[in-house]
A = this chain, B = another copy of it.
Amino acid sequence: MTKADLFPKIDDKTAREEGDIFAPAFDEHGLLPVIVTSAETGEVLMFAYMNQDALARSIETGEAHYWSRSREALWRKGETSGNTQRIVEMRTDCDQDVLWLAVEMAGSGACCHTGRVSCFYRSVPISKEAGGKLKPANAERRFDPEAVYGHRSAAKGTLKSS
**Residue positions of A touching B, CB distance < 8 A:** 13-14, 17-22, 33, 35, 37, 41-44, 46-47, 56, 58-60, 62, 87, 89-95, 98-100, 112-114, 116, 119-128, 130-135, 137, 154-156, 160-161
Closest chain B CB from A11 CB (angstroms) = 13
Measured between beta carbons, the chain B residues less than 8 angstroms from A92 are: 120, 122, 124, 134
- Chain B residue with Cβ nearest A24: B124
Q: Which residue of the partner chain, among B60, B131, B132, contacts A128 with CB atoms under 8 Å? A: B60
Residues of B within 8 A of A90 (CB): 123-124, 126
What is the bound-complex CA distance between A161 and B93, given in angstroms? 11
Contacts of A126 in B (CB 8 A): 58-59, 62, 87, 89-90
Apart from A33-B33, A35-B44, A89-B126, what are 10 other A-B pairs with CB-CB below 8 Å? A14-B155, A20-B122, A21-B134, A22-B124, A22-B132, A44-B91, A91-B137, A94-B112, A94-B161, A98-B120
The CA-CA distance from A62 to B139 in the complex, in Å, is: 24
Q: Are A93 and B46 in contact (CB under 8 A)?
A: yes
